[in-house]
Amino acid sequence: MNRLPRLFKALRRALLYALPTVIGIVILNFLLLQLVPGDAADVLAGESGSATAETMAMMRSHFGLDLPLWHQLLNYLNHLAHFSLGFSPRFNMPVMELIWSRLPNTLLLMASALAISVVLGILCGVVMATWAGRWPDRVLSLLSLLLYSTPGFWIGLMAVVLFSVHLGWLPSDGSTTIGAALSGWDALRDRISHALLPALALSSVFIAIYARLTRAAMLEVQTQDYVRTAEAKGLHPFIIQLRHVLRNALIPVTTVAGIHLGNLLGGAVVIETVFSWPGLGRLALEAVQGRDYAVSLGVLLLSSFMVILANLLVDVLHVWLDPRIKA
């Protein structure tokens, strides 16, 4: 069977399974947020310091917070059916517009962290598996243990102290240089320099996980019959490791990487706060503190879609990596 039809079949089946998951996530997120005490009117009244009961009632009526729960749920589903996420009482703007303004920064941070963690983790795992039991394996195993046991925000703070305060190589916060008015390659270099430290801090734990997982998977694959057959044929050890061992060892790594996308989103809340990175993580934190359910639901919904999409791509990637997997 050709590989391309198998990929499309796997994608179609994954989309079919994802549909009820999306519906369940939408309803469950809405109901869970209703358990949080207070609402946006309470927070706005507390900040103003002079709101009356009539003013708070008017605000609740304006934003639909005084409606029954089932009515609010139907309004929310109606907004989603019209590709709208509602209006934010906290930020006084449409939720969709607010999320789209923060989404590029979060995607840049997550993509950078995921790329760094997967590439460095696999490289370290290959070295550890190739020299298993010798000093490169022992050194990298110790380093991965340190990375796994150290909180990402602490690594971020230490990286700021070293690379920003003492060496002055990289900026310590923000996503761009304020007032620089850069363009072209200069703007790209500026974005990369701002994203490097938070991406490294966010990826530190995952580098250790992927390194250990790649090492274990490669050592297991090396005992398979087809690897011994390739060695008996006289293939170069590098070709054996690359085409026969590493390719099959990537299946568990890619599976875990898809699952960890949600962890990256959760870790982004802390990392974005440490580095003052204007992304969805900080937006979600501000929305929860301000009891802005519309923004919180929007961020949760988009995050859920991203995780589901990542797992769909992982399923398709597995079909491409291993022809034995049924589409």
Per residue, the 3-state secondary structure of 15-71, as one string, reads HHHHHHHHHHHHHHHHHHHCCCCCCHHHHHHHHHCCCCHHHHHHHHHHHCCCCCHHH
Give the residue-averaged pLDDT of 184-190.
Answer: 75
Q: Give the pLDDT band of residue 321 (cuts 50, 70, 90).
A: low
Instruction: Give residue 223's pLDDT band: very low, low, confident or very high (50, 70, 90).
Output: confident
CB 222 within 8 A of CB 245: yes
Q: How far, in Å, CA of 112 to CA of 132, rounded?
A: 29
Helix (H, G, I), strand (E, B) or coil at 87: strand
- At residue 191, the pLDDT reads 78
Instruction: Kindly state the tokens that stand for 54.
Output: 């009539």
Residue with tokens 């990375």: 147
Please give the backbone phi and psi of residue 167, each rounded to the nearest 5 degrees, phi first: -90, -30
pLDDT value, residue 115: 86
Distance from C-alpha of 269 to C-alpha of 273, rounded to nearest angstrom: 6
Torsion-angle region of residue 234: left (phi > 0), alpha (psi -120 to 50) or beta? left
Residue 134 has pLDDT above 70, yes or no: yes
Question: How many other β-carbons are positioned within 10 Å of the β-carbon of residue 2?
Answer: 6
pLDDT, residue 248, reads 73
d(CA 197, CA 75): 41
* Burial call 224-261: b when 16+ CB within 10 Å, e when fewer: eeebeebeeeeeeeeebbeebbbebbbbbbbbebbebb
DSSP 171-184: -SSSSS-TT----T
Q: Shortest CA distance to 193 belongs to which of 170, 212, 209? A: 170
Q: Which of 33-42, 44-53, 74-83, 140-149 has the highest mean pLDDT?
A: 140-149
Distance separating alpha carbons of residues 67 and 58, to the nearest angstrom: 12
pLDDT exceeds 70 at position 259: yes
